[in-house]
Homo-oligomer: A and B are copies of this chain.
Amino acid sequence: MTRVPSPGVTDRAVCVIGAGLIGGSLLRAAEKAGRTIWGSCASAQTAQQAAADGFDVDTDTDAALRRAADLDALVVLAVPLPALPDLLRRVDRVAPGCRLTDAVSVKVATADAVRRYAPRARYVGGHPMAGTAESGWAAGQAGLFTDAVWVVAADDGLDRQVWADVAELAWACGARVVPAAVDEHDLAVAKISHLPHLFAAVLAAVGAAAGPGPEADALSLALAASSFADGTRVAGTRPELVLAMCEGNRDALLAAVDDALGRLGAMRGALASTGGLAATVRAGYAGRQQFLAAREAQGVRIPRTGTSFAELRDIGRRGHTLLGWT
């Protein structure tokens, strides 16, 4: 994928609140891209680690937000969903009209929180879809977003200038932008991220359980090979992170769970009656092929101005990713 500098890209300063895996990686990546960056986080220990690595990060969030207001910076909230209400009240008090985005993995609940607690912010939601099994400042890396997908909200009525700020930050970090309506984003991540986490959890529990008690089924675990290892990998994610993500997307997740339960119920019926699993296995094979084919989707470019949000949403619905301005 060639990366040529896009015309008209600003060098807007970036203020990152939260210095865990995502916030910490964002600070590193944006600095590497030449942006003026600073941030804050709740943990004194994390702030010390970041400062020791040469980053302008401390625990004074008010000061960080005040500086963002002064410099007309883009503020990125890189905190878990449950931390948003308090943080947004602070934004509304210190930097009420700031350019605002976030890195939270659900977008409807986040947009609702912004409307409620910081209604004057010029907010365009974001979701950089990158991660590792690790978390915290030390796990962060400048290359975390390289070629990752970064969803940028594309609902009607958003601020076009801030939309461009968020897209340009994503590109500066090496990511590809997928524009999406916030509700369509939440339905999609319920299917391709949250449901996989719940399936992994159930698979791990079934595989390890010897019976109703806590004793492990040592024979089964001794026989477990790559299909079990891969299918349960994300069950090793810290439970608090999975819960914050999945519980924040309840309605969309219920739809995905019901789709899955319907398919599993039909499969169970076929297995018990005719013993045949062909419909399930062939549909899964077809889905996997569609997934692999989708990975080959071309990146596209758009003019910096003049593309409507409806057109942007269509780009995302076709599975295309934006690489920059024409």
Query: In the complex, what's the smallest C-beta–C-beta distance from A280 to chain B, in angstroms?
Result: 5
Give the residue name and chain of the B residue nearest to A276 (CB).
B247
Stretch with Cβ within 8 A of B (4 or more), from A42-50, A204-212, A304-312? A204-212
Stretch with Cβ within 8 A of B (4 or more), from A16-24, A30-38, A70-78, A220-228? A220-228
Is A281's CB under 8 angstroms from B201's CB? yes
For residue A86, CB closer than 8 A to chain B, the reply is: no
Stretch with Cβ within 8 A of B (4 or more), from A95-103, A114-122, A258-266? A258-266
Is A319's CB under 8 angstroms from B222's CB? yes
Chain B residues with CB under 8 Å of A130's CB are 225
Chain B residues with CB under 8 Å of A261's CB are 261, 264-265, 268
Give the residue name and chain of the B residue nearest to A193 (CB).
B227
For residue A242, CB closer than 8 A to chain B, the reply is: yes
- Considering the chains assembled together, what is the distance between the CA atoms of A193 and B242 in angstroms? 24
For residue A267, CB closer than 8 A to chain B, the reply is: yes
* Interface residues, chain A, with chain B CB atoms under 8 Å away: 129-131, 148-149, 151, 178, 180, 184-185, 187-189, 191-193, 195-209, 216-239, 242-243, 246-247, 250, 253-254, 256-261, 263-265, 267-268, 271-272, 275-278, 280-292, 294, 297, 316-321
Supply 6 A–B pairs (Cβ within 8 Å), ascending by A: A149-B222, A180-B219, A188-B217, A192-B223, A192-B227, A206-B260
